[in-house]
Amino acid sequence: MNYYEIPKVALHRHLELSIRHSTIRELAPSIGFNNLTDQSFADHFLITEPMKDLGSVLNKFLDTQKLLSTEEIIERISYEACEDAYNEGVRVLELRYAPTFLVQGHNLTFEQAHLAAVRGVKRAEHDFNMAVGLVCIIQRILPVKEAESVTDFAIEHKDTFVGLDLADNEDGFDSKPFSSFFKRAKDSGLGITVHAGEADLPNAPRYIMDAIEHLGADRIGHGVQCYRDQKVVDYLIEHKIPLELCPTSNWLTGAIKDPDGHPFKKLMDQGVMTTINSDDPGIFNIDLSHEYKLLHTKYGLNQDDFVKCNQYAFDTCFIAADKKAKVWNK
């Protein structure tokens, strides 16, 4: 099977962590990393072995974030993220980023950063036959006040955002305080996706239900821990709520500890709307085709399964129906 040739819909991909390695190397001297060897490059910018928990993974993203210091760089990495996705067979792409994370420590407003990302995405849509939508992320680890300003920002820019997401470490950071923000976003017409049930925490399946009940999630980012509670699995099936699954990410973050134990196929066979995603391809040193290969060779998914997963992703993608249909020829 040529994994690159499969036409793909990618729903879960973080803009800030999809940076091309050649671009990281080019920008690295600007933050004091000169003459990076392969080893020091990997030490600072890559995660290729399982980390001890999600918190330590999130910390490792900070060097990469330091690189994103100007509008030009943000426009460039946005364009390149789309181009790389296109070369992996992606025709419909949702790219997500957190305005608070993107501008942190840089002399940039949300507005400047966002318009730069929009310029990069629009240029890519012009150059490649693809439809791209940006999803705005609220960082659950920040004070609720900041979440409110990000919500306002997303709603003010709903012509250039397709959805709102809640991300970061779930351990100790409940969904409920964010419910009024997500209600407003949903009422404004934005799609809602929530990182929930990602890490292997005692109440992880419950967090998925919280995201649905309190935040109105249309889709769940990861949600992989649902396999531990059949009632949650049944709910996802009955209410047709898709999971944005990212197998390699789950392995590297320690969400799934057994390298052969990802529940993707089991969930799909039961009728869960499973979609295939790469999460942070740059940092994880993978691309989306790598995930297809993994699912094919290790978990036995076949061509028909891939068609089905992409149809689930296409149907539940937040990009406007006419826009996504134009690039998705059956």
What is the binding site for Zn ion (CB under 5 A)?
279
Q: Which is nearer to Zn ion, 28 or 313 (CB)?
A: 313
Q: Which is nearer to Zn ion, 165 or 305 (CB)?
A: 165
Q: Which is nearer to Zn ion, 33 or 207 (CB)?
A: 207
Between the two ends of the chain, the Cα-to-Cα distance in Å is 18
Least distance to Zn ion from the beta carbon of 13, Å? 8
Euclidean distance between CA atoms 271 and 226, whole angstroms:
13
Q: Which is nearer to Zn ion, 28 or 241 (CB)?
A: 241
Q: Which of 205, 202, 295, 280 has the alpha carbon at shortest distance from 247?
A: 295
Comparing every residue's Cβ against Zn ion, the nearest one is 279
Q: Which helix (H) or strand (E) holds 106?
A: none
> Coil, strand, or helix at residue 209?
helix
Least distance to Zn ion from the beta carbon of 126, Å? 27
Q: Are 69 and 30 in contact (CB under 8 A)?
A: yes
Chain mean position to CA 270: 24
Least distance to Zn ion from the beta carbon of 256, Å? 15
Least distance to Zn ion from the beta carbon of 249, Å? 7
In Å, what is the CA distance from 164 to each residue of 139, 147, 217, 260, 274? Answer: 11, 11, 9, 32, 20
Q: Which is nearer to Zn ion, 198 or 210 (CB)?
A: 198
Least distance to Zn ion from the beta carbon of 12, Å? 6
Q: Are 71 and 108 in contact (CB under 8 A)?
A: yes
Least distance to Zn ion from the beta carbon of 86, Å? 20
**Which residues, including other chains, have CB under 8 Å from residue 251's CB and lie 6 or more apart?**
50, 259, 262
Residues paired with residue 194 on neighbouring β-strands, in sequence order:
166, 220
Q: Which is nearer to Zn ion, 138 or 327 (CB)?
A: 138
Going by the DSSP 8-state scheme, the letter that residue 243 receives in this structure is E
Least distance to Zn ion from the beta carbon of 32, Å? 28
Q: Which is nearer to Zn ion, 75 or 279 (CB)?
A: 279
